[in-house]
């Protein structure tokens, strides 16, 4: 499972849980929650990619010595 798919799945699960626990939400509230979940997933993915890039640069620096 790819990282993006994992984050998207977690976000969808969080959205579903929030909607079930929060009672009936309006259509706009559901869209807002979905957007917030997607923004959180995108932020987490960007962080993960930045860490991976940093680790790869460190590895390349070590291997070039």
Number of domains in the chain: 1
Q: Which two tokens stand for residue 64?
A: 């070039």
Q: Which domain holds residue 15?
A: 3-63
3-state secondary structure of 19: helix
pLDDT score recorded for residue 26:
83
pLDDT band at 1 (very low <50, low <70, confident <90, very high): very low
Give the number of other Cβ atoms within 10 Å of residue 13's Cβ: 11
Question: Residue 22: pLDDT band by 50, 70, 90 thresholds?
Answer: low
Model confidence, pTM: 0.54
| 60: Cβ contacts below 8 Å, ≥ 6 apart | none
Check pLDDT > 80 for residue 41: yes
Tokens of 3: 């990282």
């Amino acid at each position: 499972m790819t990282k993006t798919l994992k984050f998207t799945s977690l976000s969808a699960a969080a959205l579903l849980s929030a909607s079930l626990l929060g009672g009936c939400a309006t259509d706009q509230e559901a869209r807002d929650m979905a957007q917030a979940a997607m923004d959180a997933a995108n932020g987490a993915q960007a962080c993960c990619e930045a860490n991976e890039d940093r680790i790869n640069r460190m590895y390349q620096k070590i291997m070039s010595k």
